[in-house]
């Protein structure tokens, strides 16, 4: 068994273990040595876990346990079911537990498809393959390559265990994981993780999928009867239950299983501890794309710009190769919402600008422009020029709104004020109706609210085919021809211009600008390649996020020329060919308003 695989680092004695813990380790080892069929050189699970905690160098002096194995399992630093502590630990288990204890399980799941230099990995689970990928690619490495097989089910020797623990000890002082992949021709994906959390995690459990408040409260009562207090809330119009911070991972698993046993979805999130300090880990992923091979375009939810959907659903519907979530949005109901700011798709204005924030536009030649955009819209008639107040959103008052098929299947049904709609087909009025009618392909609707409802009836009476012409203009400073930009998105703030850091708050508050959060970014390299980037955050084990200045300085160091901050937080996602390459901070995909997709052009 010795020599089949080389665990990272030089074997060394474990320091700082009390004499009682060493006595326990010795007793377990002696017990194993006299068990029939047991290998004298194997290591017990309990011994390995106890020494793994010591190798992590965490302060658990205030814990009620004296046994390191019990504490590491109760804390959730190792989340796997372990079984009998006196059983031999296998190489697979030892590696997996080490990766979990270093807070690298998210990276292992992301890298589970990476090629490995061992012949016997097909029988391993996806997570185990991901742990191997992390182990051989991180610096310092947990294990070294150079042997043909991994032999994951074989018990490790004490020498191998001490070598692995020595590598964990060094990694606990600081690690780097850099992996570059080519998901497709003309694409380069760079994944980076650095640092290790220095705190003991706490946990929250969430229950999802309730249709209304009574359903949520019924589950809340059931869980309380089982000893778990949960708080009900309705973020984004979806009822959820949330636990308080839990320190015992055994209770976390029991609560999770109880929720699942009742047919509900559950998720577990690591607590946010010290997220604004320098001791937290960092994770980011950057996708670089050749503009000769990929064209970008905004992508919407299948229900249109008035609906919200996960980015993965948008990307699959649009059949793009890659996607990142895009601009900010308002939430108007469960899976309902509207973009905030300019959105133009293939020459059609879907949403008008929000003043004071940066836009990114690009034309058919993939030439890009960054800057602020203004919009004016009007409809000339025989009775004078009508000024448009909005596009694809209801605005209460005496307003005139243009609706296009991008909005969704139908216009909003308005009963609070007078409303009328003119259906326009082929540049002429094709019908007059009340609000709330269908938006068919090839048609658009001019809606009048308040006093404008009667005005539309007078100008475009039922049964006539009156010409209807919309004058719409996008303008901005800097000399850019915004009218020529086929696609435009708006978010902000602007982060980089010609490689120089420039972070103007653009009206955003202190939290968004100066605190660490997950981030999404779109931009261009100095070589003219497109980039999508996500920076993970709000996870005490995986990543702390970044301030806008930290994000801008990181981009500048990576040879980027231009960069625009997009919506972040729980919305941040990078999707490539059916897989997410980051970990959404909410533990699941958040429905968003729109994204930016990359479509192959050859």
**CATH classification of the domain holding 233:** 3.30.70.1070
pLDDT score at 573: 98
Q: How far is CA 404 from CA 250, 423, 425, in A?
A: 53, 10, 11
- The percent of residues in the chain predicted with pLDDT above 90, rounded, is 86
Residue 400: inside a domain, yes or no?
A: yes
Last residue in a domain, options 422, 454, 474? 474
Task: Identify which of 128, 266, 189, 138 has the alpha carbon closest to the alpha carbon of residue 579.
Answer: 189
Which pLDDT band holds residue 458 (cuts at 50, 70, 90)?
very high
* Tens of pLDDT, residues 400-440: 999 999 999 999 999 999 999 999 999 999 999 999 999 99
Mark whether 305 and 392 lie in a shared domain.
no
Residue 536: inside a domain, yes or no?
A: yes
Last residue in a domain, options 420, 445, 474? 474
Pairing verdict, β 368-371 and 374-381: unpaired
pLDDT score at 108: 98
Helix (H) / strand (E) element for 497: namely strand 494-497
Mark whether 339 and 378 lie in a shared domain.
no
Pairing verdict, β 400-403 and 390-391: parallel
Give the least confident one: 306-320, 331-345, 468-482: 468-482
Task: State the total domains in the chain.
Answer: 4
pLDDT score at 478: 65
* Tens of pLDDT, residues 463-507: 889 999 999 999 987 666 899 999 999 999 999 999 999 999 999
Partners of 239 in the β-ladder: 210
Mark whether 101 and 146 lie in a shared domain.
yes
Mark whether 54 and 144 lie in a shared domain.
yes
DSSP label of 156: P
Mark whether 328 and 288 lie in a shared domain.
yes
pLDDT score at 279: 59
Domain coverage including residue 212: 203-270
Task: Identify which of 365, 348, 351 has the alpha carbon closest to the alpha carbon of residue 306.
Answer: 351
Torsion of CA 511, 315, 487, 548, to 10 degrees: 20
The Cα–Cα gap between 232 and 220 comes to 8
Mark whether 487 and 564 lie in a shared domain.
yes
Residue 65: inside a domain, yes or no?
A: yes
Last residue in a domain, options 434, 452, 474? 474
Mark whether 262 and 360 lie in a shared domain.
no
Mark whether 47 and 114 lie in a shared domain.
yes
What phi and psi, each to the nearest 5 degrees, are found at residue 264? -110, 155
- The percent of residues in the chain predicted with pLDDT above 70, rounded, is 91
The reported pTM is: 0.91
| Rounded mean pLDDT, 88-117 | 97
* Residue 311, Cβ density class (10 Å: 0-12 exposed, 13-18 middle, ≥19 buried): buried
Which pLDDT band holds residue 41 (cuts at 50, 70, 90)?
low
Residue 275: inside a domain, yes or no?
A: no
**Is the predicted pLDDT of residue 9 greater than 80, yes or no?**
no
| Rounded mean pLDDT, 116-125 | 93
DSSP strands (E only) in 30-153:
138-139, 143-144
Mark whether 494 and 529 lie in a shared domain.
yes
Residue 184: inside a domain, yes or no?
A: no
Residue 195: inside a domain, yes or no?
A: no
Mark whether 293 and 257 lie in a shared domain.
no
Task: Identify which of 442, 435, 356 has the alpha carbon closest to the alpha carbon of residue 396.
Answer: 435
Mark whether 219 and 157 lie in a shared domain.
no
Cβ contact 292:528 at 8 Å: no
Residue 180: inside a domain, yes or no?
A: no
Mark whether 56 and 157 lie in a shared domain.
yes
Task: Identify which of 556, 509, 559, 565 has the alpha carbon closest to the alpha carbon of residue 535.
Answer: 565
The Cα–Cα gap between 60 and 54 comes to 10
Degrees to nearest 5, angle at CA 261 with 257 and 267? 45
* Tens of pLDDT, residues 361-413: 999 888 999 999 999 999 999 989 999 999 999 999 999 999 999 999 999 99
pLDDT score at 11: 32
**Is the predicted pLDDT of residue 20 greater than 90, yes or no?**
no
C-alpha torsion sign, points 555, 312, 270, 516? positive
Look at the block and give the residue holding tokens 């909003």: 412
Residue 185: inside a domain, yes or no?
A: no
């Amino acid at each position: 068994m010795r020599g089949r695989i080389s665990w990272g680092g030089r074997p060394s004695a474990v320091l700082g273990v009390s004499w009682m813990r060493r006595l326990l380790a010795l007793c377990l080892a002696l017990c194993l040595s006299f068990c029939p069929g047991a290998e004298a050189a194997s290591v017990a699970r309990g011994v390995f876990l106890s020494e793994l905690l010591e190798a992590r160098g965490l302060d658990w002096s205030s814990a009620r346990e004296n046994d390191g194995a019990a504490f590491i399992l109760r804390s959730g630093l190792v989340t796997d079911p372990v079984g009998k502590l006196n059983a031999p630990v296998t190489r697979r288990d030892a590696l997996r537990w080490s990766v979990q204890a270093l807070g690298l399980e998210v990276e292992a799941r992301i890298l589970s498809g990476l090629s490995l230099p061992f012949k016997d990995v097909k029988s391993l689970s996806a997570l185990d393959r991901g742990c191997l990928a992390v182990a051989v690619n991180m610096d310092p490495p947990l294990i070294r390559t150079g042997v043909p097989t991994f032999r994951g089910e074989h018990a490790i020797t004490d020498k191998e265990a001490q070598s692995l623990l020595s590598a964990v000890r060094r990694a606990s002082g600081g690690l780097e994981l850099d992996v570059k992949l080519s998901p497709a021709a003309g694409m380069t994906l760079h994944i980076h993780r650095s640092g290790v959390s220095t705190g003991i995690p706490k946990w929250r459990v969430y229950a999802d999928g309730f249709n209304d408040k009574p359903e949520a409260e019924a589950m809340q009562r059931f869980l309380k009867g089982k000893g778990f207090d949960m708080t009900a809330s309705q973020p984004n119009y979806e009822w959820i239950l949330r636990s308080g911070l839990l320190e015992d991972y055994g209770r976390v698993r029991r609560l999770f299983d109880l929720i699942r046993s009742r047919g509900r979805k559950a998720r577990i999130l690591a607590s946010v501890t010290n997220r604004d300090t320098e001791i937290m880990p960092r994770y980011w992923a950057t996708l670089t794309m050749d503009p000769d091979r990929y064209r970008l375009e905004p992508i919407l939810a299948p229900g249109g710009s008035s609906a919200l959907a996960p980015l993965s659903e948008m990307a699959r519907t649009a059949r793009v190769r890659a996607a990142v979530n895009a601009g900010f949005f308002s939430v108007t109901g469960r899976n309902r919402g509207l973009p905030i700011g300019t959105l133009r798709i293939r020459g059609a204005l879907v949403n008008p600008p929000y003043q004071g924030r940066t836009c990114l536009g690009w034309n058919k030649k993939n030439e890009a422009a960054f800057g602020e955009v203004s919009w004016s819209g009007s409809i000339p008639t025989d009775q004078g020029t009508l000024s448009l107040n909005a596009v694809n959103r209801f605005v209460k008052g005496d307003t005139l709104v243009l609706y296009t098929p991008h909005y969704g299947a139908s216009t909003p049904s308005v009963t609070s004020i007078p409303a009328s709609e003119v259906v326009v087909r082929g540049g002429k009025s094709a019908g007059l109706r009340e609000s709330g009618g269908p938006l068919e392909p090839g048609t658009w609707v001019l809606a009048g609210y308040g006093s404008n409802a009667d005005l539309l009836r007078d100008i475009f009476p039922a049964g006539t085919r009156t010409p209807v012409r919309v004058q719409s203009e996008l303008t901005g400073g800097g000399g850019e021809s915004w009218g020529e930009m086929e696609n435009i998105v708006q978010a902000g703030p602007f982060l980089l211009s010609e490689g120089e850091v420039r972070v103007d708050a653009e009206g955003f508050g202190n939290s968004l600008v100066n605190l660490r959060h997950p981030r999404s970014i779109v931009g261009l390299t100095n070589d003219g390649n497109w980039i999508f980037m996500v920076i993970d955050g709000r996870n005490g084990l995986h990543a702390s996020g970044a301030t806008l200045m930290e994000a801008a300085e990181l981009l500048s160091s990576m040879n980027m020329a231009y960069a625009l901050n997009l919506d972040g937080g729980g919305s941040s996602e990078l999707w490539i060919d059916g897989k997410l390459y980051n970990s959404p901070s909410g533990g699941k995909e958040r429905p968003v308003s729109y994204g930016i997709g990359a479509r192959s052009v050859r």
